[in-house]
């Protein structure tokens, strides 16, 4: 049981415009922001990240087995899968259950599930209509730089340190240094973040010789290590030291 519209989306039936209108369970005014609900917790949508690039609607219905899905919007960029999707559920309580599946696996990849704004979903639908995904999505509440676009990242203050996010759990320091081949990495200052039980979190901190070099290395943002694309964020030495300290506890 994949949800009330599983068969429809599995077969790709229905226009994109109908999808946007029919997936508006609270009759929110598209494009106007009119709503009587707060951005999080009212409109029942989540964003997925880290999907296999061959992911189809039916895979998402299986991932959320037992939940009532109203709409699935797989995001593409330049005609290729971006590894991201938006999923609209029948109600807010279903979102709470869906969030518990954060970092569960779909095939060999773990999938991140997090809250997003209703307008992010509407923007993605509108962009799909135009044939290009150029949406600047809003950050989820637990990580202010988690979903910033590259242009937004460029405006941030840089230090010598970048944070990597979305790494394969098997990634090691050597692979990270290879990833930044051509950039001046301080080899002794590459830290792969682990939980207290020793398991990798999918994050790492990398220090470069200068802040300018760290900014230059942002050209590697959204490039892949193995099967996963990696996001890069400017950060501070203090955050890197805290993460290293937590890994040792």
Q: For residues 145 and 153, is the Cβ–Cβ distance under 8 A?
A: yes
**Integer Cα distance of 65 and 45 in angstroms:** 16
| Domain 6-130 fold | Alpha-Beta Plaits (3.30.70)
Q: Which residue has the tokens 């997090």?
A: 114
List the one residue out of 200, 184, 211 whose CA is nearest residue 243. Answer: 200
- pLDDT: is 88 or 198 the higher one? 88
Task: List where CATH 3.30.70.330 sits in the chain.
Answer: 6-130, 150-248
pLDDT at 189 over 70: yes
The dotted CATH code for 150-248 is 3.30.70.330
**pLDDT digit string (tens) for 217-244?**
998 988 888 877 788 888 888 888 888 8
E strands in the chain: 45-49, 69-77, 80-89, 104-106, 109-115, 161-165, 185-194, 200-208, 224-225, 228-229, 231-235
**Integer Cα distance of 138 and 148 in angstroms:** 7
| pTM value > 0.75 | no
């Amino acid at each position: 049981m994949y949800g009330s519209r599983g068969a429809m989306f599995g077969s790709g039936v229905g226009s994109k415009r109908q999808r946007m209108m029919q997936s508006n369970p609270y009759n929110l005014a598209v494009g106007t922001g009119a709503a009587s609900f707060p951005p999080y917790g009212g409109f029942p949508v989540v964003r997925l990240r880290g999907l296999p690039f061959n992911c189809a609607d039916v895979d998402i219905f299986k991932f959320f087995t037992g939940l009532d899905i109203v709409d699935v919007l797989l995001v593409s960029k330049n005609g290729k899968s971006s590894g991201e999707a938006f999923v609209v559920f029948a109600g807010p309580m279903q979102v709470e259950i869906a969030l518990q599946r954060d970092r569960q696996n779909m095939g060999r990849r773990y999938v991140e599930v997090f809250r997003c704004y209703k307008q992010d979903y509407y923007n993605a639908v509108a962009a799909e209509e135009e044939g290009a995904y150029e949406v600047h999505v809003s950050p989820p509440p637990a990580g202010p730089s988690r979903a910033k676009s590259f242009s937004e990242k460029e405006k941030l203050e840089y230090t010598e340190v970048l944070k990597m996010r979305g790494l394969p759990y098997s990634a090691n320091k050597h692979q990270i240094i290879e990833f930044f081949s051509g950039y001046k990495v301080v080899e002794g200052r590459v830290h792969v973040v682990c939980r207290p039980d020793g398991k990798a979190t999918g994050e790492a901190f990398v220090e470069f010789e200068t802040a300018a070099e760290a900014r230059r290395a942002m050209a590697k943002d959204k490039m892949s290590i193995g099967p996963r694309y990696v996001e890069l964020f400017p950060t501070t030495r203090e955050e890197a030291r805290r993460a290293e300290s937590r890994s040792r506890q």
